[in-house]
Amino acid sequence: MTFATLCSLAIRSAAAAIMAFQMTSAHCEDATVTIDNFTFEPARLTVKAGSTVTWKNRDDIPHAIVSAGKFKSKALDTDDSYSFTFTTAGDYTYFCSLHPHMTGTITVE
Ligand SMILES: [Cu+2]
């Protein structure tokens, strides 16, 4: 095997690695909102259209996520999660139906 062949093989595998990385990052738009101490963290989140946001309850009491007319979870016990896929751009405000002072916003672009 010549040096030139080795070299082109190395370039090809590097290119394959970069492509694999780009394909992986295209799926990295999905995001998680953690619920802890009566707070959505982060309270404001921006994602691309088509992304799935998952809320995970880390509190030891139940919470529920409601965005009027858009989505609604059941009451989430500790370590329960709820996911919603946002297909349309816009601002989605939501709150906890059990503790309405808990609010958050998902911005979809
Ligand atoms: Cu709550």
Q: What is the pTM of this model?
A: 0.75
Q: Is the pLDDT of residue 4 over 60?
A: no
- Each domain of the chain, given as residue ranges in start order, spans 29-108
Q: 29-108 has which CATH code?
A: 2.60.40.420
Task: Return phi, psi of residue 73, to 5°.
Answer: -95, 165
Give the residue, 16 or 84, on which the prediction is more confident.
84
What's the CA-to-centroid distance between 46 and ligand 1, angstroms? Answer: 22
Residues with CB under 5 A from ligand 1 (ion): 63, 96, 98-99
Distance CA 71, CA 11 (A): 47
CA of 101 to the centre of ligand 1 (A): 8
Calpha distance 94→43 (Å, rounded) = 10
The whole-number pLDDT of residue 52 equals: 97
When pLDDT is cut at 50, 70 and 90, the band that residue 61 belongs to is very high
**How many Å apart are CA 92 and CA 101, to the nearest integer?**
16
Each residue of 24-42: pLDDT tens digit? 444 448 999 999 999 999 9
